[in-house]
Chain A
Amino acid sequence: MDFFIGHYNYWIVIFLMMVGLYTVISRGNLIKKIIGLNIFQVSVFFLYISLGTVEGGAAPIIAEGVEVYSNPLPHVLILTAIVVGVATTALALALVVRIKESYGTIEEDEIHNLDHSL
């Protein structure tokens, strides 16, 4: 049971990661691919934060009478990664908008047909 509780977080992280990966590979809709990428991204965030958690620890803000703090380093990395993540997602969405304007569709299959690339 302890082993299960101790690794449950990581298993869910891996599950989310795989759902994200599967969405990216198997779905043809570009918006859905971006959502898949985002799910993948969030799963990585959880991996980092899970690794930084310390049993009985408090948030890493120095306070009176608190001895154990969780690891601040993953928090720093992920905090910036979230903001960078939304900026890069916006870039991907901008590309999707341009693709829609050029091809008139955001389905991968239809784009391939128009390009005769498959």
Chain B
Amino acid sequence: MIIDILSWICLLAGGALGIVGGIGIHRFPDFYSRLHAAGITDTLCAMLILLGLGLQAGWSLAAFKLALIFMFLFFTSPTASHALANAAQHSGLQPRLDSDEPEVGS
């Protein structure tokens, strides 16, 4: 019962974080802030949802697969965000500062 409630909390929190991240990538003004919103919430949202599912699964093959997915997302998702930001920065894409004009898309 307690495990059920915990898993529900995880699922709901994960879903909520997902939506927050979604709003973030939709509303923020420039690429870096959008990536910031997306990159952080994306990983935690995935972790929470997978944790919630894992609690439902108990000790089984499904839990093992979930752990694998968890591990991959945990490694690849931040790596992708990092590589993206790195590439964008080296390409000369400037973060938008308060004083700037609205950004010019390329």
Q: Do chains A and B touch in the complex (CB under 8 A)?
A: no
